[in-house]
Structure 1
Amino acid sequence: MWIDLWERWRQQLVRTSATRRCRVNPRRGRRFSGLAGRWRVESLERRELLTNSPPIVDDQSFALPENSTNETIVGTVAASDADLDALSYAITSGNTNGAFAIDASTGLITVANPAMLNFEATPIFTLNVDVGDGIETDSAVVTINLSNVNEAPSIAPASRSINENLSLGVGLGLPFTSDPDADDTRTVSIVSGNTGGAFAINPSTGVVVVNNPAAIDFETTPTFMLGLRVTDAGGLTGDAIWTINLIDRNDIPTISSATFSLPENSPNGTVVGTIVANDQDAGDTKAFLLGQDNLSGVFAIDSAGVLTVANSSILNFEARTSITVHVQVTDSGQAWAVTTFTVNLSNVNDAPVVGSATITRNEHLPNGASIGVLSSSDQDANDSRTWAITGGNVDGAFAINPTTGLITVATSTAMNFEVTPTFVLTIQATDTGGLTGTGTLTINLANINEAPIVSAGTFSLPENSVNGTVVGTVPAVDPDAGAVVTYAITSAAPTGAFAVDAATGQITVANSALLNFETTPAPFFFVRATDQFGMSTTNRMTVNLSNVQEAPTVAPRTFSIAENSANFTTVGSYSATDPEGGSFTWSILSGNIGGAFALNVVTGAVIRVANSAALDFETTPTFSLVLQAVDSTGLRG
């Protein structure tokens, strides 16, 4: 059915059975398809009458996957024209944000804005498409039905700042994820940057939590770049980076337990080992403190953790084989940690220990008398000891049993209070390992009253020494200081030859006549020395006389002769004695009046008449002749 259109007519067609309307160019005729009676002319202004066959286009639909790429072909709008006019195509409405494009010549619809092809936002596009032949236009509704396509989920990047050293399980937050596909399930995982397994993520909730507190260390890893991945039910993924910045906090220092080995009795200052402590905080200082189980301060520790021996006396393997001590390290931020260290002692041959003692013993104890035993000990069980006196044993006064250590008197006379009132003996014990220990035994002698000691004396003296001549002094001493000694001769041969001063012991000649070399060349006597307490000793004194040349001795004699006796008459003979013996030369020294007498020159001891005339009784009744005998040494008698 045709409707003529005239210039300046205006018309508006209203479709009564549907909401389809058509605008008519007032200058052109317009053909409307449809049944008669379905269109109503509301207004019409006729200007001119044209005759044309309009294009015909029907409503149609296409299917397209969402998110199809640019220029993806959707389909071609089907239209016809009885006049075979060239048709033009245009989308007049419904093309939100230019989602599609239509080829104006062919009617080919393609994707122009893939971002708009979102099933979840706009599952159906209803495009109004005009098809014109240059004179008339027909319109149709082109429906494009998007088919749902699984789309990758997305996860938002984020940045967090947290304290280092957080505890296990502390939550950091929930990553934001999304998925264009409604009701699509999503799981979140950590795919990179999780140094040391520091973090974990709940795969269902996506909450990021602390998994390894030790790895959350500012000094080691100040920043974590966690790669998070969200995965949907279809296996599509989305990635994002979570930046986790650690805030530096004072770290608790770490300290390692340790075991050391050390020989027992190691001297003070010996290095035992080093306690290793670390602090993650740069520049933090450390201070070490040993616990109360540091027995008697056996160890010391410096600021570097170096352990040294401080009390060697505690390091006794026989008392304890190991020592365990607590040690604390504190950093400059007052954070601290505690551990223990153990020192295992190794057994070392210990030197024996010999005690010292001071005792008092009487002087002059007999040989073999027991003095005593010094106390001794050896940490090494069953270690035997050998004993010796190594010093102070003046004059070999003492001896020691090498096995038992018993000290006895060896030289009684050396135990003399007056000579050595105190002995300081050095006693040495040697164990089976050759180690030695020494002790001191001080022996104070108790002074005992002793008898004076008189030694046998021998003196020399010329025979015939005059009375009072000093022979010598009795060789006597009293060991007791301040003793008063008196002397006396108890017997002598010959008796009375000598005397002794009772106070001084000086010996003098008492009877010179008894000092005759020829009869008693070595007279002797015994002297007793007695102290004020009545103790005494006696000994022999011998005086060796030296021979002295003696003059001959002529005994006086008396002879009688008749006066006037003839010459050569023998008057008598004389004799002389000389202790040394020998011959004599005789002479008349005086009294030979008138040469009355002469001596026989041969015998020299016979007096004869030499001048008979001089023998006159009346003149000289008595002659007193002085005769002289001269021995071989010229001594006269």
Structure 2
Amino acid sequence: MPGSLSYVAKHDIAKLGLPYCRAKPIFRTSESGLRNVLEGATVGTSVGRPVAAVDRDGDPLTYSLGGTDAGNFQIDASSGQLRVNATLDRESQETHSLTVSVHDGTDRDGEPDTSTDTTIDVTVTILDVDEEPTVTGPATATTTENVDTVLGYYSAVDPEGDEITWSVAGTDRQAFEIHSHGALRFAVPPDYESPTDQGRDNSYDLLVQASDGSNTVSLAIAVSVTGIDEAPVLLGPRAFSLSENISGELGRYRAIDPEDATVTLTLGGGDSGSLSLGDDGVLSLDSAPDFEQPGDVDRDGVYEVSIEASDGALTTSRAVRIGVRDVNEAPTVSGDTSIERDELYTDDTSIIGRYSVDDPESGDVEWSVAGSDGADFVIDAFGQLKFAKTPDFESAADANRDNVFGITVEAFDGDHTGSLAVTVKVSNIDESPELRPFGLYPQVGNSVHLSFGDPDGSVTGTQRSWQRSSNRVSWSTISDATSSSYYPTSGDQGRYLRVNVSYNDGEGDNKTERFTWNSAVRAEPSSNTAPNFDSTAAVQRSVPETDPAGYAVGPPVSADDDGDDPLVYSLSGVGNGSFRIDATTGQIGTHAPLEGYPGQAF
């Protein structure tokens, strides 16, 4: 015990016969007590180096933690290492005040004593991290067709107060737009009968995205479009002019109901007793009119009737005027009678012909287009002829399906009609093939693939060769690499890849195209397993031969990946030219109408 001869002999280092006093642990003068840690660090993350004391006697030290913010941290009792004990947010509190205490377990006489020997104040500064914004707003929306309305207002809060930029992404993003204040709406009011969503089921899926310039956050949105009962669309002339003493057929009317309901045509109006409307929609004058003795109700030489189309619930009416004229000169229409336009350089806004009229009795005319292919064109009040729908040589829309349209340009002067027969020919253009790469960032051991299709028809004689280059200037051919896919090897690492394709199509032979990857081949990942198709992939699918291009064929062909890597789907096989697959979802769709292939298996 202290003071005894044995204690003095053991601790009297100077051999002066004096008792030895044990020293307390101390913190070095170089210990500033300042530490830093990133905000959001996980619990257990070390905060700088240990807050360590020294003890002259070499006794084991025990550390403890106190201070205002001690609850947010923990300390290793034996080493003095501070660690995170709670979620730390710089925007809420920038610094935290702590007190680290230490004792060596004994008093100055060597007796057990766990009271604090020394303390040091510690300040922990929370370092800022650019945190992603938080997006709020409705996850679902429903709207009726033909309505231009805001589907939802979205807001975002960025912890750092950065400016937010809005955008849309996802499967059906092309149908939407979002404004700078977060208002989401359809880019064009939706049409229930002609949905533009990928599934063609009026259920649109998209992502509303908010970016602070560094981080982007997405909110999945589902938008449903509901149909309304729309009135039938009535097609046919609004006015006729005929010379006196002529009776019989005036024109033909037809109606289309957006909901495919049965439509009934009826004739009404003050002069309906002088005309007939057949079941085939043909409007006829029952007896030959006499210009000098008008037979219409108000005796002005103009028969006025209405054509009505009803689907049982809604009715569309069209006023029709039939003018009877004294025999005089008909308007003379002049302009292009033979028009030829290239498919790629003509759309429904292009003026393909200009027409003028010479009428001795009148200067004002009403223009229209008739003939077997008249419904495929429109003409404005200035005599400018346009396609009603952009032509496509590969999907001919004329009556004979030969891309030669026969029409009649008509000018009505209020009494009679002048006409001009016009032939419009759509010429084929050698369109560039569609090259669709899969695997934009080549990596050793992972397949890169190039899908190839040609709008000009079936492709034959396709040959591929793969090449590599270290500088994208000098290229060397890769031996035996001739398929649509290629697996980069370790020898390709750091090099660039390209594939050359030679082929024949409906427009010519020995054509060539190439695609070069912009990213050099990356190193092989540590491990990766191939994805597996699920049980629905092998299910037989069918599609009506009348379905248009872009129509979904059965459910998506889906696969699973153990590593949750993003999957890229592609098509191959004898019939792949007739179909397309969505690279992200695995949804197969038609690429071209399949008429003429009943019962064909692909």
| TM bucket normalised to smaller | 0.3 to 0.5
TM-score by length of 2: 0.38
The structure with the larger Rg is 1
TM-score by length of 1: 0.36
